[in-house]
């Protein structure tokens, strides 16, 4: 049966071969590309983004199952975030997508960060939702100059809000938005505040739309420093090179 009048058009699900891996992905929408990356929970796959599918009205959404998840290849050992970023890069090449905005939740945010560090020319903007990260990434992010929206819940027990501020401080062109406690209902699983794309979808949709309307204008540049501090900062950056 086809789609009935008035029903939303479903995402198209396809599979491509990328070297040793088979990658399953869903796509929907028209306009600039937005790549959405899910987290590391073994039950997760592209469909966790269905609550945000309305973004397809303005953007072409590309939602892969990471390797080891969903309909993609499931090797004995799940590739780490650096290998996953390479697979996403290969997927964009395969689909001839030159550049995209990346949105990642939890481990997906860490993969998006790694992609941006290695291929900044392929990234328009970053949207990090309760994102994990590796400490060595923080130092490398100091040179990243991509408009970045960081979203956290005040009561996230999986990745505490302090991590969001660490990312905000590392990415100098970023803005953090902290939501009030999410898991007020005692019947919620304790991970509710870590899965904002599901449990606070309306707020997340609103934040993403606002951010994407003017990414550069939404981020807060660091305040102007005193000459001595500016000179010290420049020295530190030079030493990092």
Three-state SS string across 51-98, please?
HHHHHHHCCEEEEECCCCCCCCCCCCCCCCHHHHHHHHHHHHHHCCCC
pLDDT band at 79 (very low <50, low <70, confident <90, very high): very high
Give the Cα separation of 225 and 160 in Å (integer).
29
Give residues with Cβ within 8 angstroms of 210, minimum separation 6.
218
Give residues with Cβ within 8 angstroms of 73, minimum separation 6.
20, 21, 22, 23, 67
Look at residue 106 in the predicted model and tell me its pLDDT. Answer: 97
What are the phi and psi torsion angles at 150 (to 5°)? -115, 125
What are the phi and psi torsion angles at 176 (to 5°)? -110, 140
User: Could you report the per-residue pLDDT of 112-148, keeping only the tens digit for each?
Assistant: 999 999 999 999 999 999 999 999 999 999 999 999 9
Instruction: Tell me which of 224 and 55 has the higher pLDDT.
Output: 55
Tell me how many degrees the CA angle 48-118-63 measures, rounded to the nearest 5.
20
Structure tokens at 114: 């790694």
- Single out the residue of 146, 114, 148 nearest to residue 129, CA to CA: 148
Which residues sit opposite 150 in a β-bridge?
128, 176
Architecture of domain 12-240: 3-Layer(aba) Sandwich (3.40)
pLDDT band at 8 (very low <50, low <70, confident <90, very high): low
**Long-range Cβ contacts of 185-190 (<8 Å, 24+ apart):** 190/157, 190/158
- Single out the residue of 163, 164, 162, 155 nearest to residue 188, CA to CA: 155
Residue 218 has pLDDT above 50, yes or no: yes
SS3 call for 203: helix
Give the Cα separation of 197 and 157 in Å (integer).
16
Residue 5 has pLDDT above 80, yes or no: no
The arithmetic mean of pLDDT across residues 60-75, rounded, is 97
> Would you give the end-to-end CA distance of the chain in angstroms?
59
Which residues sit opposite 176 in a β-bridge?
150
Half-sphere exposure of 40 (CA within 13 A, CB side): 17
Instruction: Tell me which of 8 and 33 has the higher pLDDT.
Output: 33
Q: What is the pTM of this model?
A: 0.88
Domain range list for the chain: 12-240
Mean residue pLDDT of the chain comes to 89
User: Could you report the per-residue pLDDT of 146-196, keeping only the tens digit for each?
Assistant: 999 999 999 999 999 999 999 999 999 999 999 999 987 767 778 899 999
């Amino acid at each position: 049966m086809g789609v009935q009048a008035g029903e939303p058009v479903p995402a198209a699900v396809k599979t491509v071969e990328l070297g040793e891996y088979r990658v399953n992905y869903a796509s929907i929408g028209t306009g600039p590309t937005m790549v959405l990356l899910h987290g590391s929970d073994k039950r997760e796959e592209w469909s966790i983004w269905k609550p945000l599918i309305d973004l397809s009205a303005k953007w072409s959404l590309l939602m892969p199952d990471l390797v080891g998840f969903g309909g993609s290849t499931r090797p004995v050992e799940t590739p780490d975030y650096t290998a996953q970023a390479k697979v996403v890069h290969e997927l964009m090449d395969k689909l001839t997508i030159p550049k995209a905005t990346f949105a990642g939740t939890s481990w997906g945010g860490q993969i998006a960060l790694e992609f941006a560090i290695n291929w900044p020319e392929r990234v328009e903007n970053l949207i990090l939702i309760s994102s994990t990260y590796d400490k060595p990434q923080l130092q490398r992010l100091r040179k990243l100059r991509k408009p970045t929206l960081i979203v956290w819940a005040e009561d996230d027990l999986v990745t505490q809000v302090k991590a969001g501020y660490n990312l905000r401080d590392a990415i100098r062109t970023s803005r953090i938005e902290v939501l009030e406690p999410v898991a007020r209902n005692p019947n919620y699983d304790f991970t509710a505040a870590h899965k904002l794309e599901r449990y606070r979808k309306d707020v997340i949709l609103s934040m993403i739309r606002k951010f994407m309307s003017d990414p550069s204008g939404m981020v807060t540049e660091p305040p102007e420093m005193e000459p001595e501090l500016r000179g010290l900062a420049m020295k530190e950056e030079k030493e990092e090179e």
